[in-house]
Amino acid sequence: MKERALFYYAQGYNCSLAILKAGAEHFGIVISEELENSCSAVSNGFGVGSICCALVAAIELFGILFEEERAKTLRMQLFLSFHERFGSLNCCKLSCCRQDCSEILAYVAELTERLITQMK
């Protein structure tokens, strides 16, 4: 999943769509054009420096693949692991020291794949 997410990111896709497309391919999910299009509004910390949108896409994958309680459990594991690694969930705080988000995107893709695989 990591390689595909980085591929999409290098092609100009935003973080949320790169994660969503990579996850859909990896786990054999068909995503609608509407869901893909919704990612255009889910980028750059929602434009206000809020939560990292790669995390948002990972949570969307959890919601597609699992019932509500499992998805919520995975969400918390994702947040805790990510925060432990990067010290924040906030897009602006994460990106202020980076020229691009490849490292973050790679980590989210790897962690998302691992969490989903462990839960199946």
- What the block records as the tokens of 57 is 């896409």
The predicted pLDDT at position 98 comes to 58
pTM, two decimal places: 0.91
pLDDT digits (tens, 9 = 90+) for 65-95: 999 999 999 999 999 999 999 999 988 888 6
The predicted pLDDT at position 96 comes to 59
The predicted pLDDT at position 97 comes to 53
- What the block records as the tokens of 22 is 């990579």
Amino acid 91 reads: C
pLDDT digits (tens, 9 = 90+) for 12-53: 999 999 999 999 999 999 999 999 999 888 887 777 778 999
Residue with tokens 């893909």: 36
Q: What is the DSSP string of 25-42?
A: HHHT----HHHHHHGGGS
